[in-house]
Amino acid sequence: MATKPLIRNGAERDTPNFGLAAARVTLNRRRLMTWFVLPLVIATLVMAGATIYLEYRQGQAYRHYVVRNSFEGLLRFYQDQLVNNTRVLGTAAELLGRDGTLREALAQRDRERLLQQAGPLFARLRQRYGITHLYFEAPDRSTVARLHLPERHGDVIDRQTMRQADETGRESWGVELGPLGTLVLRFVLPVEAGGRRIGFIETGMELEAFLPSLSRFAGSRLFLFLSKQHLQRPGWERGMAMMGREGRWDRFPDYVLGSVGDADLPPEVERYFLAHREPDQPQPLEGTGQESRAAVFVSIDDAAGRVVGMLATVLNDSAYQSYSHQLFIRTAVAILLVGFVLLGLFLALLGRIGHQLDQQEVLRNLAIRDGLTELLNRRAFVSLLESEMADASRSGRDLALLMIDIDHFKEINDSHGHPTGDRVLKSLCERVLLQVRTADWVCRYGGEELSVILPDTDGPTAIQIAERIRQAVAANPFAIGEGMPIPLTVSIGVAPCVSACQEPAQLVMAADRALYQAKQAGRNQVCQAAA
C-alpha cells in the first residue's frame, strides 16, 4: 500500500499555496536549527554557567545527587514495606473470611462468638506479623467486634478504605490517620455468603511496626511528623497521654512530632519544620543542613491521597565532600570541551545536511506536486485514493470522491490565451482549497480537471461540499487583470464509495460518469453517481 504524503490541504493553507517547495526548504533549515544547533548552543551556554556555579558551590551538586539517591531508596523501601505488609494483612483477612464459624457469627452479628473464636488467632497474628487491629463490621459498617479493643463496638466506621470497599464490593487498603494521632495501614475485605454481603473484615498494622526496618535501611534515626491539617488537638493530646508521652502541639506551625522520635531533633530537621508553611503540598528535599549532614524527607499519603505526615532522617555525607568537589570540576570542564567540539562539528555539517534535505524536498515535490498549481498530481492521487479506500474498508468508514471540471475552459484559452487560462486555473484551485476541510485531499487530475478525496464523508455530505465549491466558483468572476473579470462555472461529479466499489478505478469511473451527467444536464451542476 502506498504511503500518504505528509502534507494535507489544511497544512498547505498555513503557507502560501504557491511557492510551497521554497517554503518547505526554509522549514527544513529551521528544523535543523531547532532540533540540533539551537539545543546544542543553549546546552553549551548552560554548561558554561554551570561551571561558574560549580566553582562557587564546590561540589554541592554531587552531594545532592547522593542525597537524592538516598531519598529515592528510602521512598522505594517504604513503598515496598507498604505493599508487603498489605499482603500480610490481606492474607490474614482472607483466611479469617474463609472460616465458616466466623462467617456464621458475623452474619448473625454474634459479638461474643467472634471474640471467642478469633481471639486466639488474633493474638498469634499480633505476635508473629505485627497485626495490631482486627475488626468485624456489619453490612451497614457498624462495628460488631474489635479484637484489639473488645470493649468498643457499635460505632459506624466512615474511613476512606471502608467507604471504598463498601462502594466497590472489593478489597481496599491504604494508610489512614486516626483521631489520636496514630497512622495505621488498613485492609478491608467485604465478606459475602449466598450472594449477599454479610459484613466486612478489617485488619490493620500501625505504621510504627515497620518503621524500625526503615531506620535500619537508612542507617540513621527516623522521625515521624503528622500534619495538623488532618488532626484535632484534643484527640491528639489524648492519644499522647495514653502513650505516656508529652505532646507539644505548638512547637511547629504545621506539623506535630509523632510517636516515633523524641524532642532531640537534629537542627536540620527542626529548621525545616519551623519554616514549612504548606502542609498540604510538602516538597521532598534533596538535602538541607551543614556541609557534612543532610536531611531527607519522605511524604506519607493516606488512602484518600492526602499528605498526612512526613518521615525525616539525617544522613552524614562528609565522606562525599572532597571527592565531589574534584569530580564535578573535572566533569564540568570535560562537558564544556565536548559541548564546544560538538557545536563546531554540527555547524560544519549543517550546510551539507541542509543542502541534501533541500534537494530531497525539491525532488519530493516534483514527484507528487503539479508544477502549475502545486496541488498533488495524478500520481499522488492514485496512491492516496488506494490508501484511503483501504482504510475505509478496514475501519468501515465512509469515503467519497469529487471530480471537478471547468465549464467551457477551452473558450478561455482560445479567447484570452493559455497564460490567462493558467492564472484562472490557479485561482480556481485556491477557491477549492478554501471550501474543503483539513482532512480532504485536493489533486489535479489532469488538464482543467480536479479531484477531491473526502475521507469520513457519506453521499449527502459530499454533495453539500460539492455544492459549496460550485457556488464559490460561480459567485464571483475571476479577475485576470486590466478590469476584465471572467465568469466561470464548474461541473462536479460525486461518487460515494459503496461496498460494491472494490477498486480505485471503479470509484473514479463512477465519479467520471456523474461528471458527464452534470455536463449533459447543462453544466454548472452537481450530480451524484448511481449506486
Residues 342 and 472 both lie in one domain:
no
3-state secondary structure 455-487: ECCCHHHHHHHHHHHHHHHHHCCEECCCCCEEC
d(CA 476, CA 243): 90
Residues 362 and 384 both lie in one domain:
no
Q: Which of 456, 450, 443 is nearest to 400 (CA)?
A: 456
**Residue 209 belongs to some domain of the structure:** no
The three cell numbers of residue 491 are 461541473
Strands, E, within 280-398: which ranges? 293-301, 307-316
Mean pLDDT of the residues in the chain: 80
pLDDT tens column, 246-302:
778 888 888 888 765 555 777 778 888 887 654 433 344 444 444 456 777 888 888
d(CA 30, CA 478): 36
pLDDT of residue 222: 83
The count of C-alpha atoms lying within 13 angstroms of the C-alpha of 224, restricted to the half-sphere facing its C-beta, is: 22
Phi, psi of 300, deg, nearest 5: -110, 115
Give 183's contacts (C-beta < 8 A, 6+ positions apart): 175, 176, 177, 206, 207, 208, 224, 226, 258, 300, 308, 309
Residue 510 pLDDT exceeds 80: yes
- Which position has the grid cell 488512602? 303
Residues 478 and 462 both lie in one domain:
yes
- Which position has the grid cell 454474634? 110
Query: What is the span of the domain harbouring residue 395?
Result: 375-528
Report the CATH number at residue 414.
3.30.70.270
Average confidence (pLDDT) over 61-86: 80
Enter the DSSP assignment of 250. T
The share of the chain scoring above pLDDT 90, in percent, equals: 32
Looking at 398-402, 409-413, 457-461, which range is the least confident one? 409-413
Residue 179 pLDDT exceeds 90: no
The three cell numbers of residue 527 are 450530480
Q: Per-residue DSSP letters for 483-524?
A: T-EE---EEEEEEE--TT--SHHHHHHHHHHHHHHHHHTTSS
Q: Who has greater pLDDT, 316 or 210?
A: 210
Which of 335, 368, 401 terminates a domain? The answer is 368
Residues 493 and 357 both lie in one domain:
no
**Residue 512 belongs to some domain of the structure:** yes
Angle CA(214)–CA(219)–CA(224) in degrees, nearest 5?
45
**Residue 256 belongs to some domain of the structure:** no
The three-class DSSP label of residue 169 is coil
Residues 339 and 478 both lie in one domain:
no
- Helix 60-98 and helix 321-368, axial crossing angle in degrees, nearest 10: 80
Residues 364 and 405 both lie in one domain:
no
Residue 509 pLDDT exceeds 80: yes
Residues 360 and 383 both lie in one domain:
no
Residue 460 pLDDT exceeds 80: yes
Q: How confident is the model at residue 53 (pLDDT cuts 50, 70, 90)?
A: low
Q: Per-residue DSSP letters for 345-377?
A: HHHHHHHHHHHHHHHHHHHHHHHHB-TTT-SB-
Residues 380 and 523 both lie in one domain:
yes
**Residue 483 belongs to some domain of the structure:** yes
Residues 431 and 469 both lie in one domain:
yes
**Residue 30 belongs to some domain of the structure:** yes
Average confidence (pLDDT) over 65-92: 85
d(CA 393, CA 386): 11
Count of structural domains within the chain: 2
Q: How confident is the model at residue 14 (pLDDT cuts 50, 70, 90)?
A: very low
Residue 242 pLDDT exceeds 80: no
pLDDT tens column, 207-216:
877 778 887 8
Residues 351 and 460 both lie in one domain:
no
Residue 371 pLDDT exceeds 50: yes
The share of the chain scoring above pLDDT 70, in percent, equals: 75
Amino acid at the residue 207: L
Residues 505 and 394 both lie in one domain:
yes
pLDDT of residue 8: 44
d(CA 81, CA 75): 10
Residues 328 and 419 both lie in one domain:
no
The three cell numbers of residue 407 are 465549464
